Structures are given as C-alpha cells and as structure tokens.
Chain A
Amino acid sequence: DSGVTQTPKHLITATGQRVTLRCSPRSGDLSVYWYQQSLDQGLQFLIQYYNGEERAKGNILERFSAQQFPDLHSELNLSSLELGDSALYFCASSTTAAYYNEQFFGPGTRLTVL
C-alpha cells in the first residue's frame, strides 16, 4: 500500500458525459501527478500540481482539467468523454516538486466509456 488513495476504483459512463476522479496523496506529500494508461497510447503523464499550483503539463487534452485543493487532494475532471478516453488513470504523489524524486502511485481508477 503506497498511501495514495484514488476513488472510485471503477467508473463506467457514456460518451459525452463528464466524470471526476479523486486522489488523496500520502500524508505530507505536496506534489500530485496524474497519468493515463491506455492500450493505444501507453503510459502518459498528464499534469502535475504542487501545493495547489500547476507545476508541469504533459499530454493533457483540453477536455480534461485538474486542480489541487488546500487539503492537497486533487481531482481530475474529464468532460465530453469519448470512447478513446477509456483507460486506467493513475495519481501519484511525492514530497517535493522535483520530478526525479520517488513518486508513490495510487491503485488507479479504471474508466470505461461506452
């Protein structure tokens, strides 16, 4: 158990819908990262937040957005969902903003878009 929690574990929804994925980092970790793992695209970095502010942005679509709240939990919002958005979404956390420090991954949220 990494100490990072993600909810929900599974999510099934329809095209065009909007969903929110939630992540709680390890106690004391200020940095949160979001990743998408799909069969087509492999594992991709989406976005990083550090202490409430956006720190780095990867291959995140405009339909997707994220934020980190004062209590350091983070949410990833996916809107106008398409079939291709079906994937495993991981959250990870680390103590600092430095990406090369070890990140601790959550168990992921499996999103299925029908």
Chain B
Amino acid sequence: AQTVTQSQPEMSVQEAETVTLSCTYDTSENNYYLFWYKQPPSRQMILVIRQEAYKQQNATENRFSVNFQKAAKSFSLKISDSQLGDTAMYFCAFMKHVTFGDDKIIFGKGTRLHILP
C-alpha cells in the first residue's frame, strides 16, 4: 500500500524567506502523480503544484517549485519569497496512474506553515 509521510508537523519562517516542506512516499508503482495542496484558514483546499512521475523536470508554479527525487521517493515543496498569504496547512498527496477504477489519492498528515511578519 502507498503511504505519504510529511515529517514536519509545523514550521514558521519570516516573510520573504524561502522555506522547504518535506514529503516522502512509499510505492512500488512506476507511474504516478504527486501533488501539493494548500489549505488556508478558510479551509478551502487549493492545488498548489502537480508532478507527473515520468517527467524528470521539476514542476514550477511562480514562487512554488518542487524537488522531485524519484529514486529517493522524495517530493519537497519550496516556497520562495514567502508571503503572509502562504500561511496554511500544506498537504502532500500521491496517486498512482490507472486507467479506471482505482485512482484514489493518498494524503500526508500535513505541515502547518506560519509566515511571520
């Protein structure tokens, strides 16, 4: 069974700093997808970034980028120039690639990130 581990329950950084959130996963699959979701205090889940395992290039979305290490089964999220609005719970998630019927997503326990003014 697949598992997703986020080893940092809570982190705090100063505004404008760079912060990296860790995520490791365990799978025997070769084709899969990885996600980072953000849940701000409003509780609404928002997709931050997505990575396909077959792509070697790390995904980037503006200030958000990932360091995807397939062999190490590591998928960390880097937030550059952090802003107060980045304060949220961040969830790492895994989904194996299937064509039908068993594409359920597995979430980590989350990392609570505080951006300090």
Interface residues of A (CB under 8 A from B): 2, 35, 42-45, 48, 55-59, 88, 90, 92, 98-100, 102-103, 105-108
Task: Check B50 against A100 for contact (C-beta < 8 Å).
Answer: yes
User: What residues on A are CB-neighbors of B109 within 8 Å?
Assistant: 42
User: What residues on A are CB-neighbors of B44 within 8 Å?
Assistant: 2, 105-108
Interface residues contributed by chain B, number (CB under 8 Å): 23
Residue of B nearest to A1 (CB): B44
Given contacts A42-B109, A100-B95, contact A105 B104 (CB under 8 A): no
Listed A/B pairs (29) with beta-carbon separation below 8 Å: A42-B110, A43-B91, A43-B107, A43-B110, A45-B104, A45-B106, A45-B107, A48-B103, A55-B100, A55-B101, A56-B101, A56-B103, A58-B105, A59-B104, A92-B45, A99-B33, A99-B95, A99-B103, A99-B104, A99-B105, A100-B33, A100-B50, A100-B52, A100-B97, A102-B50, A105-B44, A105-B46, A107-B44, A108-B43
The prevalent SS among residues of A at the interface is: strand
B102 within 8 A of A: yes
A26 vs chain B, min Cβ distance (A): 13
B47 within 8 A of A: yes
B62 within 8 A of A: no
B56 within 8 A of A: no
User: What residues on B are CB-neighbors of A100 within 8 Å?
Assistant: 33, 50, 52, 95, 97, 103
Of A35, A45, A92, most buried by chain B (CB within 10 Å of CB) is: A45
